[in-house]
Amino acid sequence: MAERLTIEPLTPDTPQLEPWLAIIGRWHHEHCVSRGLNSSIERRIEQIRKHFSGDALPVTLVAHKAGQPLGSVSLLRYQAAGTGNRLWLSNLYVEASVRKGGLGEALLEHACRYAKAQGEKALWLFTDDQQAFYRKRGWRPAGDARISRTEVDILVREL
């Protein structure tokens, strides 16, 4: 019987925590470097470990099958001038070998359900190159900004 895909929060009790942290930390690091940001895998892993506070948020959700992480997404609070205490979707990543198979959308929907279960009314994100992907899935434009020398669009989805 084939093992099914599971999406769940990464926690200190995750059986394969250390190898998975190394993989997810590498994903986040590669994304940062591609954006011209100063990064290291160790720093990315340290940031993910901050999600282990015991609270429901922040969280990194991991999609895995047969003991292998295939994708992840994080939910975090950013407090920026004039934005209040919004919950942001961040670091949506799908392993290249399984892209175009619906996993990105599954992670996105799981993150939205998770946020709604925590009493959130909306989720926010910023992107510089995936606007069409998100708009097709119910996100709407909510402004623009400059983040780390990059012009980005801000999108919101009501939950």
Report pLDDT digits (tens) over 56-91. Answer: 999 999 999 999 999 999 999 976 656 678 999 999
Tell me the domain boundaries of the chain.
6-120
Q: How confident is the model at residue 106 (pLDDT cuts 50, 70, 90)?
A: very high
Q: How confident is the model at residue 35 (pLDDT cuts 50, 70, 90)?
A: confident
Report pLDDT digits (tens) over 9-34. Answer: 999 999 999 999 999 999 999 988 88
Q: Tokens representing 97?
A: 């070998």
Q: What residues form DSSP beta bridges with 156? A: 124, 140
Q: Do 60 and 72 contact (CB within 8 A), yes or no?
A: yes
Q: Average pLDDT in the 48-54 region?
A: 92
Instruction: Give the pLDDT of residue 78.
Output: 78
Instruction: Give the pLDDT of residue 32.
Output: 87
Q: DSSP characters for 65-118?
A: ETTEEEEEEEEEEEEETTTEEEEEEEEEEE-GGGTTSSHHHHHHHHHHHHHHHT
Non-local (6+) Cβ contacts of 74 within 8 A are: 48, 51, 58, 59, 60, 61, 89, 90, 91
Degrees, nearest 5: CA angle 63-67-68 = 55
Instruction: Give the pLDDT of residue 73.
Output: 98
Does domain 6-120 fall into CATH 3.40.630.30?
yes
Q: Do 64 and 103 contact (CB within 8 A), yes or no?
A: no
Q: Average pLDDT in the 146-155 region?
A: 85
User: In the predicted model, what is the mean pLDDT of the chain?
Assistant: 92
Q: Tokens representing 57?
A: 């948020």
Instruction: Give the pLDDT of residue 153.
Output: 92
Instruction: Give the pLDDT of residue 2.
Output: 65
The length of the chain, given as a count of residues: 159
Question: Taking 60 as the threshold, does the pLDDT of residue 100 lie above it?
Answer: yes
Q: Which residue has the tokens 């939950």?
A: 159
Instruction: Give the pLDDT of residue 121.
Output: 96
pTM beyond 0.75, yes or no: yes
DSSP letter at 55 equals S
Q: Which residue has the tokens 């990315």?
A: 44
Instruction: Give the pLDDT of residue 53.
Output: 87
